[in-house]
Amino acid sequence: MLPLATFAASAAIGVGKSIASSIAQSASQASAQPSAQATAKLRKTATEFESMFLESSLDRLTQSEGTDGPLGENGTGGGVYRSMLTKEYAGQIVKSGGVGIADQVFREMMKLQGATDGAARG
């Protein structure tokens, strides 16, 4: 069993690779004083990242060995249902306020934006 920090780091690496280009693109397209539309796009990207991270984490937590389980995993249907269920769980967690990942990612993208614009001006 992996310690929680190791699990979170490995999940973040897998999820992070899939949307790192989206975050970089969103951060590079906005200006130093982002418009409301640019800010909304950055917020949406950060929220999607948190949702994907939670989905990946919940998927790893709900994996089981063998054929017994609450989802009847003795066929292909159980795996499909489990994936849909974890996606909904992640979405509901994010809708109810999340765990703070989106806020941190949003702040970092805003910092990146400022650093990028400052370097371009100087």
What pLDDT digit, counting tens, does each position of 59-82 carry? 888 776 655 656 655 566 777 788
User: Which pLDDT score, from 0 to 100, does residue 120 have?
Assistant: 46
User: Which pLDDT score, from 0 to 100, does residue 72 have?
Assistant: 58
d(C-alpha 27, C-alpha 85), whole Å: 31
What pLDDT digit, counting tens, does each position of 6-46 carry? 545 555 555 555 555 555 555 555 445 567 888 899 999 99
**Who contacts 56 (Cβ-Cβ below 8 Å, separation ≥6)?**
11, 14, 15
User: Which pLDDT score, from 0 to 100, does residue 54 have?
Assistant: 94
Instruction: Give residue for tokens 């693109």.
Output: 25
Q: Is the model's pTM score more than 0.85?
A: no
Reported as half-sphere exposure (CB side, CA atoms, 13 A), residue 122 has a value of: 6
